[in-house]
Amino acid sequence: MDALKKWKWTFLLVMTGLILVSSGIPAAAADYPDKPITLVIQYPAGGSTDVTGRVLANGAKKYLGQPIICENKSGGGGTVGVALVAAKPADGYTIGIVTSSPTMAYHMGKFNYHPVEDLTHIMRWANYLFGVTVRADSQWKTMKELIQYIKSNPKKLSYGTPGVGTPPHLAMEELIVAAGIEVIHIPYKGGAETNAALLGGHIEIISDSSGWAPLVDAGKFRLVANWGDQRSPRYPQVPTMREIGYDVVARSHLGIIGPKGIPKPIVAKLHDAFKKAMDEPEFKAIMKKLDMTDNYLNSDDYNKYMRQDFEQMGKLVKKLGLDKK
């Protein structure tokens, strides 16, 4: 009889524990968020990722009811900030922006995190416009003139990118092979730094996303080529690299991610808030200013896309002989 009572008490305690655990997740999700959220931006302030990311976060906070604190954690071609997010608790209070850069860099060297498996994919929201710019007072009026000069003067010019393993870096590496040219790569932490370097004469060329657009519009930079599939509506006079004769395209997405294992109800809340923020007039205006296109994917589709992107980037890195594994 005592054994039966003991078994009943044990069973009751176990069931009570299970009920508490199972009810705890929905309760936490229902209360989320009850404090500020940190959004890690993996490039320095002033670039296209930072500018558009901050405006998007400003819109999303209205729907979450809590502040979103944007923190710039640059370095490693955009991989350091993502690593910091991956190491945080999966509670939805530290999220970040991700691009194709960590995926490319993963295939080029050893990482302490996997750019797909160790993240929760919340939403994809945009594509970059990538281009090649020079100073407006330089001698090169077109990309063809620039390539011809580099051929006649190997290793004399240098180009800046937002880091090793970023899409605009790999695009230039593809062009170097395709055109048979030699030019020196100078990696920086982001678009604000590449812009400053070109303005200061420390480099002659930029291969980067459209953080250069305001300087092109101001007449300080000249956009000589577009790395996209088609010409930019904002700069219709500028040819794509394919039109110039080189089959090279640089692509990268912008997405919101978090650490692996964020509960689905919290992911849904974050997704919905950022999706609504994409319709805010301020966000649409900054996207237009930087000639970046909306490229929305929900959480499930974004996860699928990231897995496909991982495979494609691996093939590209291997093709260029940059894989180190």
Which pLDDT tens digit goes with each residue over 85-119? 999 999 999 999 999 888 888 888 877 889 899 99
The per-residue pLDDT for 10 is 52
> Does residue 55 contact residue 283 with C-beta atoms inside 8 Å?
yes
Reported confidence tier of residue 28, pLDDT bands at 50, 70, 90: low
Q: CA 211 to CA 216: how far, in whole Å?
A: 10
pTM of the model: 0.81
Q: Alpha-carbon distance 185 to 311, whole Å?
A: 25
- For the chain, helix (H) and strand (E) counts, in that order, are 12, 11
3-state percent helix, strand, coil for the chain, nearest multiple of 5: 45, 20, 35
- pLDDT band at residue 208 using 50, 70 and 90 as cut-offs: very high
Q: Please state the rounded mean pLDDT for residues 165-173.
A: 90
pLDDT, position 2: 57
Average pLDDT, the chain: 89
For the cut 90, the answer to whether the pLDDT of residue 222 exceeds it is yes
**What per-residue confidence (pLDDT) applies to 176?**
95
Helix, strand or coil, per DSSP, at residue 300: helix
DSSP state, 201? T
pLDDT at 252: 83
Q: Which CATH number is correct for 32-127+252-319, 3.40.50.1100, 1.10.510.10, 3.40.50.300, 3.40.190.150?
A: 3.40.190.150
Averaged pLDDT for residues 232-245: 94
Residue 6: predicted pLDDT: 55
* Residue 50, pLDDT score: 93
CA distance 198 to 151: 21
27 pLDDT higher than 70? no
**48 vs 181, residue with greater confidence:** 181
**Nearest residue to 210 (alpha-carbon basis) of 199, 197, 221:** 221
Do residues 276 and 59 lie in contact, with contact meaning Cβ atoms separated by under 8 Å? yes
Question: If 0-12 CB within 10 Å is exposed, 13-18 middle and 19+ buried, where does residue 101 land?
Answer: buried
Give dist(CA 134, CA 105) in Å, integer: 26
| pLDDT score, position 183 | 97
User: Does 236 have pLDDT greater than 50?
Assistant: yes
The confidence score (pLDDT) of residue 47 equals: 85
Tokens of 177: 């092979």
What gap in Å lies between CA 190 and CA 101, rounded to an integer? 12
Rounded to 5 degrees, what angle do the CA atoms 217, 76, 267 make? 85
Q: What is the pLDDT of residue 204?
A: 98
Query: Over 90: is that where the pLDDT of 62 sits?
Result: yes
DSSP codes of every residue in 279-290: TSHHHHHHHHHT
Tell me the pLDDT tens digit for each residue of 288-314.
888 888 889 999 999 999 999 899 888
In the chain, which residues fall in CATH 3.40.190.150?
Answer: 32-127+252-319
Unique residue bearing structure tokens 């589709």: 301
What's residue 20's pLDDT? 42
| CA distance linking residue 19 with residue 21, whole number of Å | 6
Instruction: Quickly state the pLDDT bin for 22 (edges 50, 70, 90).
Output: very low
Q: What is the pLDDT of residue 5?
A: 54
pLDDT digits (tens, 9 = 90+) for 122-166: 999 988 889 999 999 999 999 999 999 999 999 999 999 998 888
Residue pair 101/187 in contact by the 8 Å Cβ criterion:
no
Helix (H) or strand (E) holding 113: none
The CATH code of the domain at 130-244 is 3.40.190.10
Task: List where CATH 3.40.190.10 sits in the chain.
Answer: 130-244
